[in-house]
Chains A and B, each alone.
Chain A
């Protein structure tokens, strides 16, 4: 009862504050529109099409089966999506480390023998971590290839006596892949919306702005706690029958609800008005949004212990958010940035949230955000724990 009273009071105060609402709802919408329209070429190389993704191909098996994979990737239909270069392993790995390749596909030595003996054969994909969007496209292509070829092999196996030998027919797989590019999956990787447009800047910046502006929602929470401390209302709360745990849970709950409202509004608005495709996994979208909001709210509780006055918080907090947004890929796509910054981005919750949303957008499904969501929940729990242990209400 007390927890909900504190939460609803905070929510009511924020919803009455037109400046706060403009900051957390209007600003991201305007930025999505401006950045989405003006930076489309940065994503696609042209107005609507994406530049082919540079990938390396390493054949350690030297088999026909390996060449079949390569031929699928080099087929006419796929050239607009990926550009494959065959290299030795060391060279390929260097290039992915430098960011010249988004991924390297390695066919291992025993690939064909494992396939022939009916064992699970694994194709290895080494990725440039700062290039999540393109990686998810390559992953999706290979998953689709593996799925289709497994189905064909199983069919051939069951035919048994009728077929003396079989091979994976590229002429069947390629149309399958291309169809999925055109219709729904991430093979289109980047070219994914249902109406056939690319993974546009509008999509990227919808995900980027939401995962950045959730930090501003957190900022409101930080300021609210500090202001209550300055104005003496937290002290007064402690003199009532509300416990410290109830007060903090109430503040956190109010902020969580606000965050979820904001994320829901922004996702719905971009979907309806800007026709942004958020992928088909609603459950993924819900879990990821909750995890991201939890992490941002946890961070806000920790930051409330860092700043002494609300004025300092109001000045320094936006600077921190901008830095986080810059490093985390919310302003410039990560693959455009220096590798050291790309590594640093892994420490930021906004980067994890962005990667999660992009995975959902390219229809990698719920499974693609499980790790991301766990990381975000753990970050949130860590921030929250540290914040509560340090927080002084008076």
Chain B
């Protein structure tokens, strides 16, 4: 069953922890999304460009290195500058609650932390997209 929605899963920055990103990418693909995974060590510019070029509906960022307060806002800003303001940004990683709240205030749709079920992410995307 295809949802017809395209999702870019991306690993910004220098962080190499890709278990979560890959599990989510596979889970979304199994749930019928069309998934593109950037691979590791991507600059925010590369992610925003890929999102525009691939014409995705949402970008999922995975960051476990603590750089989320810099990299999330940077990707969002670049998306706006490149005319991708309608692309939804969500994410996950080692992100304290306080930071998650702040990122949501800045427009990140949702932050999923360790222990999240794939079904939660799937439900969330189906509802929002």
- The reply to whether chain A is a binding partner of chain B is no
